[in-house]
Structure 1
Amino acid sequence: MNRFYLLATSLIPLLGATRTLREGATIGLCTVITVGLHQLLMAPLRQRLASWAYVLASLLLLAALASCLQMALRAWWLPMALALGHYPALLCLQCLACDHLLPCQGRWRLLARYLCAVFASCLLLGASRQWLAEFAGLHLASLAPGALLLLGLLLALYNRLRPGPAHPRRQGKF
């Protein structure tokens, strides 16, 4: 199994928990907090532990962070916790993806760019899904398949508006 499958599975909270702008902002903020805390707390252990011990420590820390996040949401904002369901617990997949895919050099700069992009995409996807469902009358936009279609359209728009040629790795072979 390729380790880049972690990135595909980390789209689940983004697509499932962004029906409205409020839910998108909440899941984006939860993502930033969870991933940031995980990377911050695992940084001192990265060089000191063996690979199997590091993975075990990472999983235990992720379980603790996800539990604390769920309990904090239920304690301070119960209606939003009920609306988000189990999606905040799935943020552990994004933490694992960040931990395995980020390089050692320039890790914090790339992490900050990644977290800003995830938060912006949560806001944009939540706002556009809410607008399409409430004002344009497209009920499909409030469902998860509609979110996947909308994310594809937003990525296509981004690629269209981005200047410069595509990287040779992304171009098709004839």
Structure 2
Amino acid sequence: MNSPWFLLAGLAPLLGATASAAQGAAIGLCALVLAGLHQVLMAPLRRHLDSATLPWANIVLVSTLTTCLLLGLRAWALPLAVQLGHYPALLALSCLAIEPLLPQRKRWRALCIGLGGLLAACIALGACRQLLAQSLGLHVAELAPGALILLGLLLGLYNHLRPRIHPSRRQGTR
């Protein structure tokens, strides 16, 4: 899942709804449930629909699932739904962006890895924003620009700590 569209589609809920670790976990779980259900329910439809009607079925299904998610949040977790605001509705964009990106083979593994990474990013960003805003008193961490800066710092730290395989310096020479 190396597509920039998936990252861009998930960026608004990631930055807007992760003011605390609890909100980050909630929006991450909403994304996990919504995208997982969407892919499970689209699997039988792909076999029976042609390429002209498949995008329309995709849009109808993701809008139905998103509406059910919003109604479920408001029915059973109203304080959380108020805190998350309109950001769970934007998760539908992630589902629409995922659909054409995944290849037919190994699609579930790539989907699980991508959604697990999104869940981890939501929780980590929410925890860091909560720590910086409440413990250190940095007001900018509560705002969306502060979340974007913090996300950049966390991604830079991840890239620095991630083990890489370096190509040989003598590659291509004799």
The alignment's TM-score, normalised by the length of structure 1, stands at 0.90
Counterparts of 1:44-55 in structure 2, within 5 Å, are 44-55=44-55
Structure 1 counterpart of 2:36, which letter? G
SS at match of 2:99: helix
- Report how far residue 51 of structure 1 moved: 2.0
- Give how far 1:113 is off: 0.7
Mapped partners of 2:6, 2:32: distance in 1:
17
* Contact preservation (8 Å) 1:7, 1:97: no
The answer on 1:84 being equivalent to 2:91 is no
Q: Which amino acid is the alignment partner of residue 52 of structure 2?
A: W
Contact 2:102 / 2:111 at 8 angstroms: preserved in 1? yes
User: Percent of counterpart pairs with the same letter?
Assistant: 54
**2:8 matches 1:8:** yes
* Paired letter, 1:153: L
Are the counterparts in 1 of residues 9 and 97 from structure 2 also a CA contact under 8 Å? no
Larger radius of gyration: 2
Deviates most, 125-134 or 41-50: 41-50
Q: Tell me the amino acid that sits aligned with residue 126 of structure 1.
A: G
Q: Match for 1:78: what amino acid?
A: L
- Deviating above 4 A after TM superposition, structure 1's stretches of 4 or more consecutive aligned residues are none
Q: Residue 172 of structure 1 aligns with which residue?
A: none
**What residue in structure 2 maps to residue 117 of structure 1?**
117
Question: How many corresponding residue pairs?
Answer: 165
Cα distance in 2 for residues equivalent to 1:13 and 1:135: 24
State the TM-score, normalizing by the size of structure 2.
0.90
Q: In the alignment, is the contact (CA less than 8 A) between 1:13 and 1:27 conserved in 2?
A: yes
**Structure 2 contact 66–88 (Cα < 8 Å) conserved:** yes
User: Shift of residue 106 of structure 1?
Assistant: 0.3
Tell me what 2:171 maps to. none
Distance 1:46 1:166, change over 3 A: farther
Say what the alpha-carbon RMSD is for the aligned residues: 1.5
Gaps of 5+ in 1: 168-174
Contact 1:6 1:96 in 2 (8 A): no
Distance 1:101 1:166, change over 3 A: farther
Q: Which residue of 2 aligns with 1:42?
A: 42
User: Corresponding residue for 1:137?
Assistant: 137
Please list, as runs of the form range in 1=range in 2, the aligned pairs for 1:87-166 lying within 5 A after superposition.
87-165=87-165
- In structure 2, distance between residues paired with 1:49 and 1:7: 28
